[in-house]
């Protein structure tokens, strides 16, 4: 039994090490991360299921296949969250999805033109026969745009399993450089519904058996902000809660209130999202939850919140809780 477990572990880590090449040419610049809160769109508040990469706010920039693969489907849609989409299947078992495209690659254009002239301007999904149309890694699958829910042209890139039930954090499988001006930033702390500025080693007060803590922390890059990869909450050095945004099941697309507080805002121009460090709704991104067996905290507790950015750097917030 033990052997089987280690074999499975080796297999799964081998899958996660599968690597992809950049879906845009030149220097890869991340503008949004996997698992961020999104408040708008015709499917309601949801998780950001991919990473966004800059196309210098330009439409028409070639979007490139992240590995050799065959075309699974295209979605022609101006209005849905994703806009125009291409999905590829790769030999490593993963699928990649490219969204908000302004146009499709040369070898798909005839199909697109013929279905659009037949069905007109409505959502059209075209599934292709297995292994019929191939793209080489680095070959253009389409062109950047802002179809669907995109405030400006960019590349929205997703990595999914082959039955498209799970999305993975692209930062784990793609080499994404960390911008020189990237800075870990704490923008606020909420304790039992009350907002505070975070000050290291400050004493914050709470009532009841334990407080509901939420933190708005991001990586700031210039005026842009990028969501975190994981957060761990410790009470007196004891791990009590762990959120990990390494993968999100597609059936949890709308389950954002498990991770973010209800006052979170993300509409393409503003981003404010407090990570909930207490159990509220069941979610597979909550990897550890000791609250049910926690009982009452002592009257004074040292709190540590370890935040990990998408590059694997860790930052520790430290403060003290005292019961009122
Ligand atoms: Zn996106």
Residues 252-281 have pLDDT tens digits of: 999 999 999 998 998 777 899 999 999 999
Q: For 45, what's the count of Cα atoms within 13 Å in the CB-facing half-sphere?
A: 16
Mean pLDDT, all residues of the chain: 93
pLDDT of residue 20: 96
Using only C-alpha atoms, the chain has a radius of gyration, in whole angstroms, of: 21
Percent of the chain with pLDDT over 90: 85
DSSP 268: S
Distance 53 CA to ligand 1 centre (A): 8
pTM: 0.92
Model confidence band, residue 219 (pLDDT cutoffs 50, 70, 90): very high
How far is 166 from 178, CA to CA, in rounded Å? 26
Instruction: Tell me the pLDDT tens digit for each residue of 281-299.
Output: 999 999 999 999 999 999 9
Distance 4 CA to ligand 1 centre (A): 38
15-19, 237-241, 306-310, 314-318, range with the lowest pLDDT:
15-19
Dihedral angle over CA of 73, 78, 80, 85, nearest 10: 30
Distance 95 CA to ligand 1 centre (A): 16
Distance 201 CA to ligand 1 centre (A): 36
Model confidence band, residue 40 (pLDDT cutoffs 50, 70, 90): confident
Cβ atoms 88, 64 nearer than 8 A: no
Q: What is the mean pLDDT of residues 213-220?
A: 98
pLDDT over threshold 70, residue 13? no
Contacts of 262 (CB under 8 A, 6+ apart): none
4-8, 71-75, 141-145, range with the lowest pLDDT:
4-8
Q: For 87, what's the count of Cα atoms within 13 Å in the CB-facing half-sphere?
A: 22
pLDDT over threshold 60, residue 6? no
Residue limits of CATH 2.60.40.10 in the chain: 182-323
How far is 84 from 170, CA to CA, in rounded Å? 20
Distance 50 CA to ligand 1 centre (A): 6
> How many CB atoms neighbour CB 206 within 10 A?
18
Distance 8 CA to ligand 1 centre (A): 32
Distance 241 CA to ligand 1 centre (A): 27
Q: Calculate the alpha carbon distances from 195 to 198, 214, 306 in Å.
A: 9, 9, 20
CA proximity to 290, closest of 226, 253, 236, 247? 236
pLDDT of residue 1: 40
The residue with tokens 């007060």 is 205
Distance 51 CA to ligand 1 centre (A): 6
CA proximity to 168, closest of 47, 308, 29, 55? 47
pLDDT of residue 17: 55
Distance 150 CA to ligand 1 centre (A): 7
pLDDT over threshold 80, residue 314? yes
Model confidence band, residue 67 (pLDDT cutoffs 50, 70, 90): very high
pLDDT over threshold 90, residue 248? yes
How far is 251 from 249, CA to CA, in rounded Å? 5
For the domain bounded by 2-172, which CATH number is listed? 2.70.70.10
> How many CB atoms neighbour CB 313 within 10 A?
13
Residue limits of CATH 2.70.70.10 in the chain: 2-172
The residue with tokens 């750097």 is 313
Main-chain dihedrals φ then ψ at residue 40, nearest 5 degrees: -110, -175
Q: Evaluate whether the domain defined by 182-323 bears CATH number 3.40.50.10700.
A: no
Distance 65 CA to ligand 1 centre (A): 17
pLDDT of residue 10: 47
Distance 3 CA to ligand 1 centre (A): 40
Percent of the chain with pLDDT over 70: 94
> How many CB atoms neighbour CB 312 within 10 A?
11
**How remote is the C-alpha of 208 from its chain's centroid?**
34
pLDDT of residue 11: 47
How far is 28 from 30, CA to CA, in rounded Å? 7
pLDDT of residue 2: 45
Instruction: Tell me the pLDDT tens digit for each residue of 130-164.
Output: 999 999 999 999 999 999 988 899 999 999 999 99
DSSP 56: T
Distance 52 CA to ligand 1 centre (A): 5
Can you list the alpha helix ranges (DSSP code H) found in the chain?
A: 2-16, 106-119
> How many CB atoms neighbour CB 3 within 10 A?
7
Distance 320 CA to ligand 1 centre (A): 37
pLDDT of residue 3: 47
Q: What is the mean pLDDT of residues 96-121?
A: 93
- State whether the Cα torsion 93-96-97-101 is positive or negative: negative
Instruction: Tell me the pLDDT tens digit for each residue of 174-199.
Output: 999 999 999 999 999 999 999 999 99
Distance 36 CA to ligand 1 centre (A): 9
């Amino acid at each position: 039994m033990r052997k089987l477990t280690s074999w499975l572990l080796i297999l799964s880590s081998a899958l996660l090490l599968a690597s992809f090449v950049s879906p845009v040419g030149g220097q890869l610049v991340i503008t949004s991360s996997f698992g961020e809160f999104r408040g708008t769109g015709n499917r309601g508040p949801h998780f950001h299921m991919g990473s966004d990469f800059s196309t210098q706010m330009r439409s028409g920039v070639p979007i490139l296949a992240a590995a050799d693969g065959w075309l699974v489907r295209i979605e022609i849609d101006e209005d849905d969250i994703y806009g125009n989409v291409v999905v590829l299947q790769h030999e490593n078992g993963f699928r990649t999805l490219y969204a908000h495209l302004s146009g499709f690659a040369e070898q798909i254009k005839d199909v697109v033109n013929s279905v659009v002239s037949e069905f007109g301007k409505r959502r059209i999904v075209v599934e292709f026969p297995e292994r019929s149309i191939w793209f080489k890694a680095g070959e253009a699958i389409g062109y950047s745009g802002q179809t669907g829910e995109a405030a400006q042209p960019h590349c929205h890139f997703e990595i999914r399993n082959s039955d498209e039930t799970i999305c993975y954090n692209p930062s784990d499988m793609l080499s994404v450089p960390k911008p020189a001006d990237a800075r870990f930033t704490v923008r606020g702390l909420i304790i039992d519904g009350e907002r505070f500025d975070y000050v290291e080693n400050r004493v914050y007060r709470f009532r009841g058996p334990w407080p509901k803590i939420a933190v708005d922390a991001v990586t700031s890059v210039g005026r842009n902000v990028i969501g975190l990869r994981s957060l761990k909450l410790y009470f007196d050095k004891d791990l009590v809660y762990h959120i990990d945004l390494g993968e999100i099941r597609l059936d949890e697309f709308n389950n954002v209130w498990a991770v973010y507080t209800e006052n979170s805002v993300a509409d393409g121009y503003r981003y404010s999202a407090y990570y909930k460090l207490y159990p509220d709704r069941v979610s597979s991104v909550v990897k550890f939850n000791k609250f049910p067996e926690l009982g009452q905290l002592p009257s004074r507790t040292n709190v540590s919140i370890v935040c990990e950015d998408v590059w694997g750097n860790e930052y520790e917030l430290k403060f003290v809780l005292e019961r009122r």
